[in-house]
Amino acid sequence: MLMRFRRLFLVFILLLPTGTGNTLAQSLREQADKRKLLIGAAVNPGRFSEAPYAETLAREFNMVEAENVMKWGGIRPAQDKFNFGPGDQVVAFAVAHKMKVRGHCLLWSEYNPAWLAKGSFTPEQLSKLLEEHITTVMKHYSGKVFAWDVVNESFLANGKIEPSIWYDSPGIGLAEKGTAYVEQAFRWARAADPKALLFYNDYDTEGLNPKSDAVYEMAKDFKKRGVPIDGVGIQAHIIDLDMAGISSLAANMKRLTALGLQVHITEMDVGLRLEKTGALMDQADLDRQAEIYRFVATVCVQEPGCAAFMTWGFTDKYSWIPGYTKGAKGKALLFDQAYAPKPAYRALREVLAR
């Protein structure tokens, strides 16, 4: 009898969710659903066939965003050719797993196809191309993509507008007119899909600084004049393991939501210092990383206007950081290379569970 009891007890203990392995008490997604918060990750549809990739994504997140395939460089291989296939795969995955799709992005100075970036177009031609692009892509995904980063990364660190093909080189005919070209893109976007939420998205805009001031001033001006904007995306690519730059995140979010805008954390990752071998320089960085995720997520859940929290990928197996930093940084996400949850994952789950 005692033996039997002991065995039963052992089975019971073994079945208890520990939260440390892959069998988790409750996923991020289940907890976010309860809070009506969107929890998302940037994805590459080429990985959907990798079982742990697809399983982790569907289990832990209720929103996806294409990391690259809906950008000009992915979706428009030639002037007269749209390639919707990979973006459609992202939508199909989301439908199959009851997730929302966030769209990224309709206007950016980077990741433009060579025919566009190296072409010689007049402002009139570029204006037509951009309007046609926004209209075609948004209509294709109408009812499928609930929110779009209409414009991505228009400001420099000092708050000035970044020179770009769309602004002034040669621009769409609104060069030297500040945010007028951004405004034009938002107006085309609203006309193309009146139901989609329209976002401006940028990096290094977590705390109060000249760049986030510029985003705020633009958003305020747009709201005042009835330019259609629904939200601001704060990317949250955190490259230094210190909170200095992001300590005023709550204040920045507050002033944006006070305008009646939504805020989404759109691209969070926290790159850690790596040895040449690719190993972590300091194991303790995993805990520091977890605290930064905890901080940003806490600010988001405490601000009613913060409707979404998204990471830029979800497994350290696939992340832009090692390539971008030539191997100096990495391991920036919630799951390790083998899809095991990291301290950052557990910190996030604790925030959502509260």
Distances (CA, A) of 326 to 149, 272, 279: 28, 13, 14
Q: What is the largest CA-CA distance in the chain?
A: 87
Strand ranges inside the chain, DSSP E: 38-43, 63-66, 100-107, 145-152, 197-202, 231-234, 237-238, 262-270, 272-273, 306-311, 329-330
Among 267, 272, 274, 306, binds ligand 9MR (CB under 6 A): 267
Sequence-distant (6+) residues with CB within 8 A of 98 are 62
- Nearer to ligand 9MR among residue 67 and residue 285 (C-beta): 67
What minimum distance in Å lies between the beta carbon of 239 and ligand 9MR? 11
- Nearer to ligand 9MR among residue 295 and residue 318 (C-beta): 318
The yes-or-no answer on residue 153 being catalytic is yes
Among 67, 183, 193, 206, binds ligand 9MR (CB under 6 A): 67
What minimum distance in Å lies between the beta carbon of 313 and ligand 9MR? 7
- Nearer to ligand 9MR among residue 47 and residue 177 (C-beta): 47
- Nearer to ligand 9MR among residue 44 and residue 337 (C-beta): 44
Among 112, 154, 235, 262, binds ligand 9MR (CB under 6 A): 235
The yes-or-no answer on residue 267 being catalytic is yes
For 265, the token pair is 């954390």
Sequence-distant (6+) residues with CB within 8 A of 136 are 82
Q: What is the DSSP letter of 81?
A: B
What minimum distance in Å lies between the beta carbon of 320 and ligand 9MR? 3
- Nearer to ligand 9MR among residue 103 and residue 171 (C-beta): 103
For the window 273-312, what string marks contact with ligand 9MR as x by the rule CB under 6 A?
A: ----------------------------------------
What minimum distance in Å lies between the beta carbon of 246 and ligand 9MR? 16
Among 25, 78, 85, 111, binds ligand 9MR (CB under 6 A): 111
Does 110 help bind ligand 9MR (rule: CB under 6 A)? yes
Strand ranges inside 21-166, DSSP E: 38-43, 63-66, 100-107, 145-152
Nearest to 322 by CA among 283, 279, 353: 279
Question: Checking phi first, is residue 21 left (phi over 0); if not, alpha (psi -120 to 50) or beta?
Answer: beta
Among 68, 109, 136, 164, binds ligand 9MR (CB under 6 A): 68
Number of residues that bind ligand 9MR (CB under 6 A): 9
- Whether residue 249 contacts residue 203, with contact meaning beta carbons closer than 8 Å, is answered with no
Distances (CA, A) of 91 to 7, 44, 69, 118: 47, 12, 12, 31
- Whether residue 235 contacts residue 254, with contact meaning beta carbons closer than 8 Å, is answered with no
| Active-site residue list | 153, 267
Interacting residues toward ligand 9MR by CB under 6 A = 67-68, 110-111, 152, 203, 235, 267, 320
